[in-house]
């Protein structure tokens, strides 16, 4: 699953992605279930690095936002794996 959000407008939903560290947990809730993902890395990439959106072999979560804050010339991408239930 890939989720993208702004970091400096419309509520700054992804404002603090750069503070996530490997091992941190991210919870995604649906109408019927909650999923727990564990961050394994984050990196800064160019806006043209669309490989970060490619399908993965297993259940993963990718979070994408503009970076750095208020400048937005790059993208921050957080990668997380679905945790065992």
Q: What pLDDT does residue 84 have?
A: 86
Domain ranges, ordered by start, for the chain: 2-82
Instruction: Report whether pLDDT(20) > 90.
Output: yes
Tokens 């072999």, residue located: 57
Residue-wise pLDDT for 47-74, tens only, equals 999 999 999 999 999 999 999 999 999 9
What is the full DSSP assignment across 33-57?
A: -EEEEEEEEEEEE-TT-GGGGS--S
Please give the average per-residue pLDDT across 9-16, as a whole number.
93
Class of domain 2-82: mainly beta
Instruction: Report whether pLDDT(85) > 80.
Output: no
- Residues 6 or more apart whose CB falls under 8 angstroms from that of 23 comprise 38, 39
């Amino acid at each position: 699953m890939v989720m993208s959000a702004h970091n400096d407008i419309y509520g700054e939903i992804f404002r603090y992605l750069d503070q996530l560290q490997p091992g941190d947990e991210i919870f995604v809730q649906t109408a019927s279930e909650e999923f727990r993902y564990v961050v394994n890395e984050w990196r800064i990439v160019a806006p043209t690095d669309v490989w970060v959106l490619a399908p993965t072999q297993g259940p993963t979560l990718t979070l994408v936002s503009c970076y750095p804050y208020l400048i937005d010339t790059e993208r921050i991408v957080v990668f997380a794996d679905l945790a065992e239930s």
